Each structure stands twice: as structure tokens, then as C-alpha cells.
Amino acid sequence: MRTALAAAASLLVLWLVPLALSSYQLGLLTKMMIFAIFAMSLNLILGYGGLPSLGHAAYFGVAAYTVGLLALRAGLPNFWLALAAGLAVATLAAALFGLLALRTQGAYLLMITLALAQVLWGIVFGWRSFTGGDDGLAGVPRPAAGLPWSLADGVRFYYFVTVVLSLSTGLLALVVSSPFGRALVGIREGERRMEVLGYNTWAHKYVAFVLAGSLAGVSGILFVYYNGFVSPAYLSVVFSATGMIMVILGGAGTLLGPALGSGLIVFLENAISAHTQRWLLVLGIIYVAVTLFAPAGILGLVRRRARAPRE
């Protein structure tokens, strides 16, 4: 109940803030919400399923490249067709990678997800004539066809992202509160025990893996429209690691924690990058500090303080 009230209050605030923000601040908040979807998608397998991944950016990146290539190479202006294509490619990639990656566990799972993502990174980096190589694809326009209004305007695009974030959060809330979600948590806590109880643990992990990849694709599609640009960095291990830090910082295994973590990381990156180019160093320090002092994330720390007896 508290989570639902917090989500409703957050949605109301998000709906009203454009009245008080500048265009720059609104753009930064839009970016935070896009990365919130990405972090929450990773949290489904990491926080609820106990499946660490260093290749989650692969689905984000392939969806972004699909939309960018369709817009610039094929001249496809229709939003719904581009969305369907981007989602289909991200879901297919997650389905194929899941068949390979979920044969392993723990550190081996980390390594194989990293290796599979690096394969895609190598393809888009080396295929310069098609993907633009390390220069990427610039000038991806926001969709003007297939919708009753153009998303070229920053405020309209912000509200569109708000709606997508709300739908994604609602979907994840249904998933994690369902018997499937509770079984996923059970698998995280003791896979062997769940197998003895008759659960098909591999099928549960595979469905969660594919769903997480699809939602990561949604965030990739929104981000390429937000930036108007896509590059191999969108599939890099740094991008995947950043998503993992967002989840851990906010609170893995909580619904809204990763959204909070993504907002903080995007804000800090924007603030610190204005003064130094050592953002990755700062990101590493944040990860070490959270691991040492708040292993349950910000929401976990707040809940622990709230439960602590008052002196």
C-alpha cells in the first residue's frame, strides 16, 4: 500500500514539474526517467531473480540501433513500426542470449553476459558502412508519424516518457507481486529448494531474462529519440556496469529503488562532468562506498533506520 501511494505521489509530481522547470532541467529529468526504466528492467533479474548481468546494455543498444537505422537508412517515420521493430530485436537478442547465459551461474553468468554483449559491440563498432562505427549515427529524428502529435517538442516528449515509465512501473509491479514474481524471489533465495517444491526454475529465470531485455529495449528506443544519436557506447560494459550501480545504489529487489538510483547517478554525472572528465573514477568510488556502507541501497538503509528502535 505504501509503495502504491509513493508511486502515485511521484507520478503526480512528475506530471506537474514541467510548470516549474527550465527546458534544460526538463531534459535532464526526462533522461532520468529513461534510465529509470533501464535500471528497473535490470533489477527484475538482478534484484528479484538474483541473476547478475554485465551485458544488459546489449538490449538497450540493439533497440536504439534498430530505431536509428530504420529512421536514417530506411527513412521509416512511423513511430509504432519503429517501436515494434526495436522491441522485437531487443526481445530476440534477450531470448537468444538467455538460452546461452542461463546455463551458468554466479561469476560465470557475469562473464558470459559480458562476452555476448561484447560480440554485439564489436559488430556495431566494426561495421562502419552500416552502423557508422565509432562515430555512431547522428540526426535520428523524433517521430512525427503514427502519433496524434509530434514528439519534437521537449514538453510533449517528457509527458510521453512519463506515460511509458508509468506503464513500465505498473507492469513490473504486477510481475513482482504475482505468483511468478514470488517464485522468482524464492529461486534467488534457494533455487534447489524451489526445484524440490516442483518449480521449473530455469523457465522462470528465462522468462524474467527475456522480459528484462524487452524493457531495456524500451529505454533504448526512448533514449535514441531523446539524444537523436546512437553509438557503440550504448552496448558497452561501462553502460551495463552503470545500470548495475543504479540498481545497487537505489536498492536491489525493491520496485522504486532502481529509479531513485538512476536519478542520482544521472544527476551526479551531469554535475560532476561539468567540472572534471574523471566521471568513471567517481562512479567507481560510489560503487565501493555503497557496497561498504549501504549494501542494501538507499531504500534499504532508510527502511533499516525506520525499523531501528528509538533511544
Residues linked to residue 229 through DSSP beta bridges, in sequence order:
138
- Is residue 145 helix, strand or coil? strand
pLDDT tens readout for residues 197-247: 899 999 999 999 999 999 999 999 999 999 999 999 999 999 999 999 999
Which residues of the chain form beta strands (DSSP E)?
Answer: 137-138, 229-230
Phi and psi at residue 64, to the nearest 5°: -65, -45
- Residue 146 is predicted with a pLDDT of 60
Of 151-155, 174-178, 210-214, 221-225, least confident by mean pLDDT is 151-155
Q: Which residues contact 198 (CB under 8 A, 6 or more apart)?
A: none
CB 55 within 8 A of CB 216: no
Please give the Cα distance from 124 to 284 (Å, whole number): 27
Give the CA radius of gyration of the chain.
Answer: 19
Q: How much is the pLDDT for 64?
A: 95
* Separation between Cα atoms, residue 34 and residue 258, nearest integer Å: 12
pTM of the model: 0.92
Distance CA 192, CA 198 (A): 10
Q: What is the mean pLDDT of residues 193-197?
A: 91
DSSP letter for 135, please. G
pLDDT of residue 308: 60
Number of H helices, E strands in the chain: 14, 2
Tell me the mean pLDDT in the region 59-81: 88
Where in the sequence is the domain holding 272, given as residue range(s)?
Answer: 2-307
- Tell me the H-state helices in 73-178: 79-101, 106-126, 128-131, 154-177
CB 113 within 8 A of CB 228: no
Evaluate if residue 109 carries a pLDDT over 70. yes
| Rounded CA separation 251/263 (Å) | 13
Residues comprising the chain, all counted: 311
User: Which pLDDT score, from 0 to 100, does residue 114 have?
Assistant: 93
Q: Decide if pLDDT at 171 tops 90.
A: yes
Mean of per-residue pLDDT scores for the chain: 88
Res 79: pLDDT: 83
- Asked whether residue 82 carries a pLDDT value surpassing 80, the answer given is yes
pLDDT at 310 over 70: no
What is the reported pLDDT for 311?
A: 43
Tell me the torsion sign for CA atoms 76, 77, 82, 84. negative
Residue, of 278 and 3, whose pLDDT is higher: 278
State the pLDDT at residue 107. 87
Overall number of domains in the chain: 1
For residue 146, give the CATH number of its domain: 1.10.3470
Determine contact, residues 286/278, Cβ cutoff 8 Å: no
Query: pLDDT tens digits, residue range 1-36?
Result: 566 666 677 777 877 888 788 888 999 999 999 999
Q: Looking at per-residue confidence, does 184 or 305 come out higher?
A: 184
Q: What are phi and psi of 230, to 5 degrees?
A: -145, 140
